[in-house]
Structure 1
Amino acid sequence: MIFDLQTGETPKEITGDVCVVGTGPAGVTLALELARKGRSVVLLEGGGEAYEESSQALYEGAVIGHDHIDVAASRLRQFGGTSGHWTGLCAPLDALDFEPRADIPHHGWPITRADLDPFYARAHPYLDLGPYRYDWQDWRSIVPFPALPLDPTKILTDVYQQSPPTRFAEKFMETVRAEPKIACWTHANLVDVTLEEGGDVVSSIAVHTLDGRATTVRAKAYVIACGGIENARILLNARKQRPAGLGNEHDLVGRFYTDHMTIETSMLLFRDDVDTRLYPTSLNYDGAEILMGLKVHPDVVKERNLNNNSAFLVADYGDAVFSDDFRNYGWVAFSTMLKTFSRGHVPDRFAERTCDVVDDLGSVATGIYRHALRRVLPEKPAQAFRLRQDAEQAPNPDSRVTLIADTDPLGLQRIALDWRVTSDDLLRLRRTHQFIGEQVGAAGLGRLQLGVSDPPDLSIAYSGYHHMGTTRMHADPRQGVVDADCRVHSTKNLYMAGSSVFTTGGCANPTLTITALAIRLAERLAVSA
């Protein structure tokens, strides 16, 4: 059921077995899984059922570090959360991402990839993905195009799957509305967390609307699932009983902020007779839309002290008609609205997206013109391929979210994001590209034009808007905010969900892992709550 806290009579208290704050992929998945196991869930959304400027403005903050990022527009405060504008690319984290590494301090989770595999498989239907298969060997007999003939002990063909992308508001809002075990409240903003006097058990949370209504939520367990920035902001603002903030006894909340460095650079030039059809575009087989990239083998990653990275091959055509360089924010807004209309729905954030189209009309017009020509012109082969990646960053405690004096209309302090992009991360990427080029050359396939300089130009790195790490998972309370079950170390019934618990970011887009972790957390809470 869905209720609006801004309308009707305000309840003095809302109760349930589990309170989940946030309706993005983590929160909705968790609520549905718990409801199916018979648990009553109070599901809170700070925004409305659709986009609202007043709610979205609560995300405004400062950027004081690497400035190729935005702290407000990169996330959505409405039902469905940031699934409302994610691009849908999915892959699990690699086994390597969970392992401690001597060459990278703070690397490694207290769980393994094998621990998550069954939950990754269960996450696929939530995201409208195909079979849970990400090894090229599982696809090579199905896909008619060959992989590049590179030494598989050095370079792997990496497999990603493409979600439509799934918009959780479109797919799950009516399911939540019809579910009697879920009481979802919109315009319900968490403003404070109260512990039992002198204890480590959360007894209630305070919830306010922007127009001044207030209520209290009581549950056996509480889960904050508001994203990699907001999760930290909520804990840091909860200072009524713990002056440093909840879970922040060791000054870790907000630290280790990591993102994926979106970088398109370096150029692979292949011989004319090399078959590259597997790589530049997505392919549809066995109920899945798959995309392939190139990845350095994990043994080599460790031997050469590299970060994990998967590089996609972006075709550079001799004829500009076949180039996709028009795909700016205006084209993304235009194509999103077009797809939504084609499904018989009115796009969310219609006015905002229309403004994006008008503001970037040149790119949109170019895209329409090129797509029309592509229907009648024979496609010319690509001459070269740029390497595009969401490159991994090493965990860095100085990369962090902190509070500033400025407050929002609810009285919570806003955040400053100090995102650190380091020369070391970019030099590791440079060495990764060098190794790929060496292997392409050794196989006689072509050559690589290196695009990462030494010393590196930090300005080539842009945010992938994958906010991770600010309430990181670790077995040791002095090295992480939550334990292997996503429970805040210093409490008995407060949990964090979403990418804020990631200990490392790997190079896979985070939504599949977010959803898998939510299912895993639901299994534990169904027993304990």
Structure 2
Amino acid sequence: MIIDARTVEPGTAFDAEVCVIGTGPAGAAAAAELASRGADVVVLEGGGKGADREALDTYRGVAGTGAHDPLEAVRQKRLGGSSATWGGRCAPLDDLDLDAREWVPDSGWPIPHAELRRYYPRAQRHLQAGSCEYSAARSGFPESPVPASDVLTWDDTWRWSPPTKLAPRITALATGDQVRLFVHAGVARFDRDPLGGAVTAAVVVPRPGVEITVRARVYLLAAGGLESTRILLASDTDGGAGIGNEHDQLGRHYMTHPVGEVGRIVPTDAGRALALGYVSSGDGVYARRMLALGRRTQEAHRLRNLKAALWFADPKDPAHGDGLLSTFALTYWGLGRARLGFKSAGMHAQYTGTTGIARHLRNVVADLPRVGAFAASWARPRLTGGRILPSFMPLDGAHCRLRFDAEQSPDPANRVTLDRERDALGQRRLRVDYSVSAEDRRSIVTSMRMIGGELQRLGLASVDLSDVEEVLDMPFTDGTHQMGLLRMSESPHTGVVDTDTRVHGCANLFVAGSAVFPTAGAVGPTLALVALACRTAETAFATARNRVQAGTGSSTAS
């Protein structure tokens, strides 16, 4: 059943066994897991079936210190959440990402990586990313033309989901008997039992001045890192500072992934034989090698984790004479000028500075057959429903660059708080204080120099990284990966959720999503957060059934 919360009578209360807040990758996976176990589930989605300017305005934030992309540009308030704009890139975390490293402050997860590995195959199925195999050698890649290196690794891969958009999945779930899906049902706050501390209701504000409530035995908050944090901060009706904030940890340690491209790389024949572009794996999934420094090298040089890959030459300067690169530059220049969604923010914002528009157009016209052939190959799977080439990636030009996805260290000064400004629904907006430290930037510079040096030493490429120190001043502002805000910890003195991702001091409230990551790693968080959501759903279901036996919580669903 799908219900538009705006049509519900004010003051109405709904009962459920489990209430899931959010329909993005974490919420959709958790709802599916719960329904498969026979739970009666209410799912609350703050947006509707598509992009809605009014809904996105409620995601607008307030700039604090540092620089961060507009909050409404880096998240999606709609069915399917961030999956609506997700590129589909999947990879597991590394073992060292979960380990305590004395050179990375506040590092170390309170659970071993083996716990996540149990759920990666299940997450793969939710994301349609094929088999849980992330070795190039076992995925159909060509054999390496050079011996293995003690410094540089290239066997680990990314794999790509089609990418899966989860709006149809959550809609299909709602056609069954166990899931009621509410749209335009943004959660304003949780109400709590003043004595026991358990959540007694999720309070929904579908339109100004109107409240409805959902009473459940267990609540699973999966509204994205920033919005989940806002809801917990706003749940302070008892005069406190929000739920899970007894020790001022809520909203701190905010991390994203610094991303950029540097250098001038000319692959040799051996480098091209290594197949550093997209490869169709044995099970028909697009995959790509990661270039990374081995664990011992990171430990010896006290580096944060980082993954690198070949990237196309800078499209912004039309002197390259390449019609495909000019098409790319013009596309993102237009999106940026029109401020169309997340593609106008983050690393893409640089294209608003594209110059020589007329010359770019001449490049496109001169290279029209190649541009047309690429456009046809790009459109074909979108029309036929096949797997989509993950991104624009011409590596056949005169040279390439090295792109990095880097780990950011957890820092309690990077945080979000509630501002006095309110949105149209009367909710306080988030203020963001965020920056990337000088030490994290120096780690990127050192890592890129070592990766480039090893590519050259092995005869895989000619490498010029004379521009790498630009990293020290690059504007890292992309907030699409929202990690650390509700970090997992054994103690409420150092985090917000426990090892079961249950909010400290709140027996029936769980969090699913990358906000619980204590450290960020260097790969996109989607696979790991869905794996954690599957694990959390198991615990939430058991908790709901135990609360029935104990005679607590909502006893019936209506």
Q: Could you say which TM-score interval applies, normalised by the shorter chain? A: 0.7 to 0.9
Q: Which residue of 1 aligns with 2:35?
A: 35
Q: Which residue of 1 aligns with 2:231?
A: 234
Q: Cα RMSD over matched residues?
A: 3.0
Q: Which residue of 2 aligns with 1:321?
A: 322
C-alpha change, 1:332 and 1:13, in structure 2 (3 Å) is: farther
Of residues 224, 229, 249, the one that matches 1:252 is: 249
SS at match of 1:487: coil
State which drifts further: 438-447 or 259-268.
438-447
Q: Which residue of 1 aligns with 2:411?
A: 396
C-alpha change, 1:391 and 1:493, in structure 2 (3 Å) is: same
- Name the aligned partner's letter for residue 35 of structure 1: A
1:336-347 superposed matches below 5 A? none
Alpha-carbon offset, residue 179 of structure 1:
2.0
C-alpha change, 1:16 and 1:452, in structure 2 (3 Å) is: farther
TM value normalised by structure 1: 0.88
TM value normalised by structure 2: 0.83
Q: Which residue of 2 aligns with 1:261?
A: 258
Alpha-carbon offset, residue 354 of structure 1:
13
1:418 partnered with 2:433: yes
Are 2:2 and 2:180, in contact at CA under 8 Å, matched by a contact in 1? yes
The 1-side partners of 2:334 and 2:40 are apart by 37
| Gaps in structure 2 of 5+ consecutive residues | 346-351, 377-393, 545-558
- Name the aligned partner's letter for residue 6 of structure 1: R
Q: Which residue of 1 aligns with 2:88?
A: 88
- What number of residue pairs does the alignment pair up? 505
The 2-side partners of 1:25 and 1:133 are apart by 20
Q: Which residue of 1 aligns with 2:478?
A: 463
Alpha-carbon offset, residue 226 of structure 1:
1.0
The 1-side partners of 2:230 and 2:330 are apart by 28
- Name the aligned partner's letter for residue 239 of structure 1: D
Q: Which residue of 1 aligns with 2:388?
A: none
C-alpha change, 1:66 and 1:312, in structure 2 (3 Å) is: farther
C-alpha change, 1:174 and 1:415, in structure 2 (3 Å) is: closer
C-alpha change, 1:459 and 1:490, in structure 2 (3 Å) is: same
Are 2:258 and 2:405, in contact at CA under 8 Å, matched by a contact in 1? yes
The 2-side partners of 1:23 and 1:49 are apart by 11
The 2-side partners of 1:329 and 1:15 are apart by 51
Of residues 522, 526, 529, the one that matches 2:541 is: 526
Q: Which residue of 1 aligns with 2:69?
A: 69
- Name the aligned partner's letter for residue 25 of structure 1: P
Alpha-carbon offset, residue 92 of structure 1:
1.0
Alpha-carbon offset, residue 375 of structure 1:
9.1
| Gaps in structure 1 of 5+ consecutive residues | 335-350
The 1-side partners of 2:61 and 2:34 are apart by 33
Of residues 496, 502, 507, the one that matches 1:492 is: 507
Are 1:26 and 1:497, in contact at CA under 8 Å, matched by a contact in 2? yes
The 2-side partners of 1:507 and 1:62 are apart by 27
Alpha-carbon offset, residue 300 of structure 1:
1.3
SS at match of 2:118: helix
The 2-side partners of 1:252 and 1:198 are apart by 22
The 1-side partners of 2:15 and 2:102 are apart by 47
State which drifts further: 322-331 or 481-490.
322-331
1:100-119 superposed matches below 5 A? 100-119=100-119
1:17 partnered with 2:13: no
1:454-491 CA distance string (max 9 Å, x none): 58532253416211110011112111110111111121
Alpha-carbon offset, residue 103 of structure 1:
0.8
% same residue: 32
Alpha-carbon offset, residue 446 of structure 1:
3.8
Q: Which residue of 1 aligns with 2:197?
A: 200
1:48 partnered with 2:48: yes
The 2-side partners of 1:323 and 1:306 are apart by 36
- Name the aligned partner's letter for residue 189 of structure 1: G
Are 1:91 and 1:134, in contact at CA under 8 Å, matched by a contact in 2? yes
Are 1:472 and 1:500, in contact at CA under 8 Å, matched by a contact in 2? yes
The 2-side partners of 1:354 and 1:291 are apart by 22
Q: Which residue of 2 aligns with 1:346?
A: none
SS at match of 2:72: coil
Of residues 281, 289, 292, the one that matches 2:289 is: 292
Are 1:266 and 1:433, in contact at CA under 8 Å, matched by a contact in 2? no
Alpha-carbon offset, residue 137 of structure 1:
3.2
- Name the aligned partner's letter for residue 314 of structure 1: W
Are 1:207 and 1:215, in contact at CA under 8 Å, matched by a contact in 2? yes
1:219-264 CA distance string (max 9 Å, x none): 1111111111111111111111252111111111110000011111
SS at match of 1:59: coil
SS at match of 1:34: helix
Q: Which residue of 2 aligns with 1:137?
A: 137
Are 2:312 and 2:395, in contact at CA under 8 Å, matched by a contact in 1? no
The 2-side partners of 1:166 and 1:333 are apart by 26
Q: Which residue of 1 aligns with 2:174?
A: 177
Q: Which residue of 2 aligns with 1:99?
A: 99
C-alpha change, 1:323 and 1:423, in structure 2 (3 Å) is: farther
Alpha-carbon offset, residue 65 of structure 1:
3.6
1:394-452 CA distance string (max 9 Å, x none): 11111111111101122221111112111111110111112112322332444432256
